[in-house]
């Protein structure tokens, strides 16, 4: 048995992968890639075949794999320390990172934030939910128990994060969850009120015809629950796991205004959309929103080590000053791990010193121009780009042309490997989320690989 086959056999015997349907994983013809190394925007398998990393390794790798500056920062930290408890101790890497994040997010405004570290997106959101809940209790606003979220939203897999999500697959855990209410998402392609006859040829946001009924629904929900409303949580600009549902300009700003006027907290989940993915370091700043809670993870360390941060307005922190009765008794063993903090701090410096945001604009422009090719395919319903994110939505069916048993996204993404592209779909939505170090030629190559794979699975004219 070859080394590759031995690794795959042991994997199938001993491991359990997340978000993986095992009828496919155990299907004998299926051979997963065995990734051996990575560099820049490329992945290499054990046979040294090169692939574009078209989803930035589950949306985490910002400046590309193994950026030399981040590696150097981690090794320099490791020369002095590996890990230390953050309960009652501190260290320079956490302090420097916290200060950097606070100043970057405040952007010279009157808004001041404190940083609570954890280690992944779910825990960043969980932290925000628990702090919001406890703060309201300590403010004697115990009647505020209701959280609002958007249809199709996904904020993580811990119980609190699931409670404020409404993505269908989490419904199997509904008995575990606390009360929340989901509202119509401002996703123009999926909108029940959009009166545009067709969006073919353009992003559905550009051709929408509506009266902002989604905002009217939010306004009514807030008016109905004004005294009970604890917080609204939203992924700003893009709902990632929903299928890259991209919001039209203006929704976020108005949702923030309505929520704050009701005296409730506003939480932005920037685990995916933050760290430059939408073209700005903090996505909610694109609409001038400075939320009460800002949750960061994924790209915070450049895809190297697990770390997350929840930024909380200073006035909320004031509610927790006191003894054990007022303290926030919550935390993790790897909170503010020095190595992770060192990698995150260097990641932020690279954004500033290598003009990353300017290059993301170039990537976005290339994604928009290259992806127009998808409109040649009759089964494509929407092509949308926001920052360094491309989503191509395949119509569920059109005159019976698609086999109802075909898992389109999976099949196309698997076929894309034949053209040197690794990506991961969300059901029938094909996605590219490239690392920021990708050249324009790389971006064009990724788009073409995805398009060729789509035509292999669903040939035009058949």
Percent of the chain with pLDDT over 90: 89
Predicted local distance difference test score (pLDDT) of residue 268? 98
Question: Where does residue 244 rank: exposed (0-12), middle (13-18), buried (19+ CB within 10 A)?
Answer: buried
User: Is 154 a known ligand-binding residue?
Assistant: yes
- Say if residues 69 and 348 touch (Cβ distance below 8 Å): no
- Average of per-residue pLDDT values in the chain: 94
pLDDT at 428: 93
Dihedral sign of CA atoms 98, 104, 108, 114 in order? negative
Q: Which uninterrupted H or E stretch holds 232?
A: strand 229-234
Report pLDDT digits (tens) over 261-272.
999 999 999 999
Q: Is 333 annotated as a binding residue?
A: yes
462 pLDDT more than 70: no
Distance CA 156, CA 401 (A): 35
> Coil, strand or helix: which one is 65?
strand
Does the annotation list 121 as a binding residue?
A: yes
Q: What is the pLDDT of residues 369-418, one digit of tens each?
A: 999 999 999 999 999 999 999 999 998 665 555 556 678 999 999 999 99
More confident residue, 20 or 156: 156
Beta-strand (E) ranges in 237-371? 238-239, 245-246, 265-269, 293-296, 308-313
DSSP classification of residue 247: P
Confidence of residue 107 (pLDDT cuts 50, 70, 90): confident
Q: Is 226 in contact with 232 (CB distance < 8 Å)?
A: no
Cα–Cα distance between 167 and 177 in angstroms, integer? Answer: 13
Contact 168, 241 (CB under 8 A): no
pLDDT digits (tens, 9 = 90+) for 344-365: 999 999 999 999 999 999 999 9
Whole-number pLDDT of residue 42: 98
From 25, 65, 28, select the one nearest 43 (Cα to Cα): 65
pLDDT digits (tens, 9 = 90+) for 292-302: 999 999 999 99
**Ligand-binding site membership of 269 (annotated):** yes
Instruction: Collect all residues with Cβ–Cβ distance below 8 Å to 177 and sequence separation of at least 6.
Output: 159, 162, 163
Does 144 show up as a binding residue in the annotation?
Answer: no
pLDDT of residue 169: 86
Structure tokens at 170: 């989490």
Task: Write the CA distances from 29 to 23, 33, 226, 396, integer angstroms.
Answer: 11, 13, 55, 26
Q: Using the 8-state DSSP alphabet, how is residue 426 labeled?
A: B
Q: What is the mean pLDDT of residues 434-442?
A: 98
How far apart are the C-alpha atoms of 254 and 236, rounded to whole Å? Answer: 12
In degrees, to the nearest 5, what angle opens at C-alpha 125 toward C-alphas 186 and 53?
75
Tokens of 102: 């606070």
Structural domains of the chain ordered from first start: 33-66+356-457 (3.90.1150.10), 72-354 (3.40.640.10)
Quote helix, strand, coil % in the chain, to nearest 5: 40, 15, 40
Tell me if 379 sits within 8 A of 401, measured CB to CB. Answer: yes
79-93, 107-121, 125-139, 274-288: which range is least confident on average?
A: 107-121
Element (H, E) at 349: helix 338-353
Residues present in the chain in total: 462
Lowest mean pLDDT of 9-23, 148-162, 208-222, name the range.
Answer: 9-23
246, 386 in Cβ contact below 8 A? yes
Q: Which residue has the tokens 């128990």?
A: 145
- H helix runs in 52-120, sequence order: 56-59, 68-78, 92-106
- 358's CB contacts (< 8 A; 6+ apart) are none
**Cβ proximity of 111 and 294 under 8 Å:** no
Q: How confident is the model at residue 34 (pLDDT cuts 50, 70, 90)?
A: very high
Give the whole-angstrom CA distance, residue 308 versus residue 335.
9
Q: Flag whether pLDDT at 44 surpasses 80.
A: yes
Each residue's pLDDT tens digit, 313-352:
999 999 999 999 999 999 999 999 999 999 999 999 999 9
Alpha-carbon gap, residue 258 to 216, rounded angstroms: 10
pLDDT above 70 (res 253) = yes
Q: Is the pLDDT of residue 304 over 70?
A: yes
Tell me the C-alpha distance between 188 and 11, whole Å. 41
- DSSP lists the bridge partners of residue 39 as 42
What pLDDT is recorded for position 180? 95
d(CA 415, CA 50): 15
User: How far is Cα 419 from Cα 417, in angstroms, rounded to an integer?
Assistant: 5
- pLDDT value for 461: 63
For 293-427, strand residue ranges (E) read 293-296, 308-313, 380-385, 390-394, 421-422
Q: Are 41 and 52 in contact (CB under 8 A)?
A: yes
Q: Sorting pLDDT into bands at 50, 70 and 90, what band is 238?
A: very high
Among all chains, which residue has been given the structure tokens 């890259």? 244
Band the pLDDT of 28: cuts 50, 70, 90. Answer: confident
């Amino acid at each position: 048995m070859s080394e590759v086959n031995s690794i795959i056999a042991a994997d199938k015997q001993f491991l359990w992968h997340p978000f993986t349907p095992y009828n496919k994983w155990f299907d004998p013809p299926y051979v997963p890639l065995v990734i051996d190394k990575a560099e820049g925007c490329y992945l290499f398998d054990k046979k040294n075949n090169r692939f574009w990393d078209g989803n930035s390794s589950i949306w985490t790798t910002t400046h590309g794999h193994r950026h030399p500056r981040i590696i150097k920062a981690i090794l320099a930290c490791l020369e002095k320390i590996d890990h230390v408890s953050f309960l009652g101790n501190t260290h320079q890497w956490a302090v420097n990172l916290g200060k950097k994040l606070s100043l970057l997010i405040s952007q010279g405004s009157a808004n001041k934030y404190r940083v609570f570290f954890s280690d992944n997106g779910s825990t960043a959101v969980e932290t925000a939910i628990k702090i919001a809940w406890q703060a309201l209790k300590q403010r004697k606003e115990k009647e505020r128990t209701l959280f609002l979220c958007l249809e199709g939203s996904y904020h993580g897999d811990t119980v609190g994060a699931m409670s404020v999500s409404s993505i269908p697959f989490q419904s199997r855990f509904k008995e575990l969850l606390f009360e929340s209410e989901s509202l119509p998402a401002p996703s123009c392609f999926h909108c029940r009120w959009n009166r545009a006859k067709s969006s073919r040829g353009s992003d559905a946001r550009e051709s929408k015809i509506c009266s902002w009924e989604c905002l009217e629904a939010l306004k009514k929900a807030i008016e109905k629950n004004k005294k009970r409303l604890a917080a609204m949580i939203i992924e700003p600009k893009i709902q990632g796991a929903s299928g890259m549902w991209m919001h039209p300009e203006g929704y976020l700003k108005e949702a923030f205004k309505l929520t704050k006027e009701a005296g409730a907290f506003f939480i932005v989940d920037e685990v995916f959309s933050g760290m430059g993915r939408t073209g700005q370091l903090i996505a909610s700043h694109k609409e001038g929103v400075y939320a009460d809670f800002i949750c960061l993870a994924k790209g915070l360390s450049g895809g190297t080590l697990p770390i997350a941060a929840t930024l909380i307005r200073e006035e909320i922190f004031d509610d927790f000053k006191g003894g054990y009765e007022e303290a926030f008794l919550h935390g993790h063993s790897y909170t503010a791990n020095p190595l992770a903090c060192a990698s995150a701090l260097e990641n932020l410096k690279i954004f500033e010193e290598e003009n990353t945001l300017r290059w993301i604009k170039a990537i976005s422009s290339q994604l928009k121009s290259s992806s127009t090719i998808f409109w040649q395919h009759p089964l494509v319903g929407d092509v949308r780009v926001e920052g360094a994110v491309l989503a191509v939505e395949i119509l569920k069916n059109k005159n019976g042309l698609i086999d109802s048993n075909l898992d389109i996204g999976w099949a196309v993404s698997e076929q894309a490997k034949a053209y040197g592209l690794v990506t991961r779909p969300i059901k029938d939505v094909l996605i590219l989320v490239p690392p920021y170090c990708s050249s324009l030629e790389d971006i064009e190559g990724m788009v073409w690989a995805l398009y060729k794979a789509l035509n292999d699975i669903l040939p035009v004219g058949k």
